[in-house]
Amino acid sequence: MHKTIGEALKFIDEFIPLIKDVRNKEIALAPTFICLEKVHEALKGTNIKLCAQNVFYEKQGAYTGEISPLMLKDIGVDYVIVGHSERRRYFNENDEMINKKIRASIENGLKVIFCIGETLEERQKNRTFEILKKQIIKGLEGIRDLSNITIAYEPVWAIGTGIVANELQIKEAHFFIREQLKEFTPDNSIRILYGGSVSAENIKSIMNIENVDGVLVGGASLNPVNFVKIIKYED
């Protein structure tokens, strides 16, 4: 929950010239709901996709305060984030609700970034794989075509804390997720992102881990210069 419309447009003005030459990576920005339409207009003709931070699972109705996938599609949104740990934690979103949101988003032509991850307590109790498997199975229930879904592994204990999961932890989690996805589809090209205190300092080491196909960037994306350093990392 950052940036007014004016601040978001100022960010775009600084950001676009810095990444206009990037053609080998997909870039998406996820501003707040009030900024989406203006940011969409500002991004026309660029190589940047537009992403919403959340969505509801009905097209319309008596759901005060919610935004439907149909509305998001109408203003030019490409992607939507579903199941983010903060939605689960602060707004009590469960796996069943997340599944409804994923289904509704896909049915209305949106691509989904589906977030999963364990809490610190769950990791300390050696329940990481149990939690990830449950979130994947329940979140993707009834969905056989995963071509419009990207998975984002975000260990909750590493989000906004400055603590980054070590390379072995990330590698094990991403390998496990890749194996679980085989239960839904033989397609091995589904992207798995890592999210959790990603920065310009650690992006290279994270991206060199097997099965890490990209990153879901939080606080480090608020400054256009810092964000560009992450995007333009070199192997």
2 labelled catalytic = no
Distance CA 85, CA 36 (A): 22
Using a 10 angstrom Cβ sphere, with 0-12 exposed, 13-18 middle and 19 or more buried, the burial of residue 182 is exposed
pLDDT tens column, 172-224: 999 999 999 998 888 888 999 999 989 999 999 999 999 999 999 999 999 99
The single residue listed with the structure tokens 């400054």 is 223
| Helix (H/G/I), strand (E/B), else coil: 151 | strand
Check: pTM over 0.85? Answer yes or no: yes
Q: How many Å is the Cα radius of gyration of the chain? A: 17
Query: Taking every pair of C-alpha atoms in the chain, what is the biggest distance, in angstroms?
Result: 50
Q: Using one digit for the tens of pLDDT, what is the confidence trace for 27-84?
A: 999 999 999 999 999 999 999 999 999 999 999 999 999 999 999 999 999 999 999 9
- What are 123-167's pLDDT values in tens digits? 989 999 999 999 999 999 999 899 999 999 999 988 777 777 899
Known catalytic residue at 84: yes
Would you state the pLDDT for residue 159? 79
Instruction: Check residue 44 and give its pLDDT.
Output: 96
**pLDDT score for 144:** 83
Q: Which of 14, 37, 41, 84 is catalytic?
A: 84
What pLDDT score was predicted for residue 158?
A: 83
The predicted pLDDT at position 188 comes to 82
**Domains present along the chain, CATH in parentheses:** 5-224 (3.20.20.70)
Catalytic residue among 40, 154, 179, 234: 154
